[in-house]
Amino acid sequence: MDGIFSALASPLPFIILISVVITVHELGHYWVGRAFGAAVESFSIGFGRSIFEARDKRGTRWRINWLPLGGFVKFVGELQAPSDTRETTDATPVDTAPAVKLVGKPYTDLGPMKRLAVSLGGPLANFVFAIVVFGFLGMSYGVPQSTEVAVKAVVSGSVAEAAGVMPGDVILAAGGRTISVASDVNRVTELSAGEPVKYRLLREGREVTVQVTPLEMEEMNPVLQMKQKVGRIGVQLDSRPSDLRYLNPIEAVGYGVTSTGDALGATLNVLRRLVTGKEGIDKLSGPVGIFTLADKVTDLHMQQKNVSFFEKLHQLSFSLLQLAALLSIGVGFFNLLPIPVLDGGAAVMCLAEAATGKEIPEKVHRVGLTIG
């Protein structure tokens, strides 16, 4: 049964992840635009032919399309890229219905700062979604308690040995990040290949700081069965088994904010390494990479031995929710980049208009959209 379920469900995690994250993003734009009184022409999930659509009392056309690899919200009067044919393909009965009066004003009637807020609404919604998901995981699945992470062994000839790391050292912080569990150390080290990292250690009752530059190594991820380049310093860590603590709602908010901030920091680090040439473009995951990851995570949980079907689903839900939060952060962050077709590009235009007091010519907008 598990094998059949895994085969049938293979595309589902990918479809659900993409659809949820993009819908959250577009809803962010939608609600901010609505708050400022902008008329919304359509809100679509996916591309291509519509499989469901309806109009609400404000005249907005809501669509679910057959290809669930994106989505968009279109405000009345909003410019589109010349190649954008999202609204012109596959006319449906709703298209031929009597004209419906849209409630609100054209997007272009909004001031530059309001349009800036609309542009930032999508990424903000992605970050809030991640905070909520991480908080929910902390309440429902619990979080490991802070433990003592010690160096169990140091590989002879390693960069850690050369820097003075010794067996028995307790790692208090790595790269400026306080250490709670061994995975914290691994995360900082893996993302810092070729760059010096300061490790704050506790040795025989006194604090010692050492600087180690992790070596880049290509390893097979035993969980995902994928090769990846990571940083290694040559130590074996040891930490006591930790209990899980289930957070209350207030603690969950703080945990969600901290986890989202950590993920954003890791994303910034990857981008910085890409810009400086220390990482290859293969470090970024497109739709195919996300599908592969979701598929492998599903297989990993559903093919476990001596674990009940419902326990597998429970563990799979945790992993997919965590992946959804991380994907949402990635979508929010990269949409903030100052590229014309992204929210960051629109934000730059709004700021330029607000700073100069002059409206950006439509021709400039169209050139930017065409280039993007």
pLDDT score recorded for residue 91: 44
d(CA 217, CA 201): 24
Contact (CB, 8 A) for 231 and 136:
no
pLDDT at 329 over 90: yes
SS3 of residue 293 by DSSP? helix
| Average pLDDT of the residues of the chain | 82
d(CA 245, CA 267): 27
Q: Write down all domains in the chain, each with its CATH number in brackets.
A: 146-242 (2.30.42.10)
Q: Tell me the catalytic residues.
A: 26
Residue appearing with tokens 């995975």 = 183
| Lowest-confidence segment of 271-275, 322-326, 341-345 by average pLDDT | 271-275
Give the DSSP per-residue string, 314-357: HHHHHHHHHHHHHHHHHHHHHHTSS-TTSHHHHHHHHHHHHHHS
Query: Tens digit of pLDDT for each residue in 95-127?
Result: 444 556 788 899 989 999 999 999 999 999 999
What percent of the chain lies above the pLDDT cut of 90? 48
262-275 burial, b if ≥16 CB within 10 A, otherwise e? ebbebbebbbebee
pLDDT score recorded for residue 1: 43
H-run or E-run covering 46: strand 40-55
Average pLDDT of the residues in 237-262: 89
Better-scored residue on pLDDT, 341 or 87: 341
Q: Sorting pLDDT into bands at 50, 70 and 90, what band is 84?
A: low
Strands (E), 128-264: 143-144, 149-154, 170-174, 177-178, 197-203, 206-212, 215-221, 226-232, 235-239, 244-245
Query: Tens digit of pLDDT for each residue in 127-157?
Result: 999 999 999 999 999 988 767 899 999 999 9
pLDDT score recorded for residue 271: 78
Average pLDDT of the residues in 343-353: 92
H-run or E-run covering 74: strand 61-75
SS3 of residue 14 by DSSP? helix
pLDDT score recorded for residue 331: 92
Average pLDDT of the residues in 179-192: 88
Better-scored residue on pLDDT, 94 or 303: 303
pLDDT at 280 over 80: no
- C-alpha distances in Å from residue 142, one per residue of 48, 244, 273, 340: 41, 5, 33, 41
| Lowest-confidence segment of 8-22, 205-219, 277-291 by average pLDDT | 277-291
- C-alpha distances in Å from residue 4, one per residue of 9, 46, 282, 301, 303: 8, 27, 32, 14, 11
Query: Tens digit of pLDDT for each residue in 52-80?
Result: 999 999 999 999 998 877 788 999 988 76
Sequence-distant (6+) residues with CB within 8 A of 95 are: none
pLDDT score recorded for residue 94: 46
User: What single letter denotes the amino acid at residue 231?
Assistant: G
Query: Tens digit of pLDDT for each residue in 2-48?
Result: 444 444 455 777 788 888 999 999 999 999 999 999 999 999 998 88
- How many helices and strands (H and E) does the chain possess? 10, 12
Strand-pairing partners, residue 206, are 203
pLDDT at 206 over 70: yes
Q: Which of 371, 372, 370 is nearest to 82 (CA)?
A: 370
Q: Sorting pLDDT into bands at 50, 70 and 90, what band is 372?
A: very low
Average pLDDT of the residues in 234-255: 88
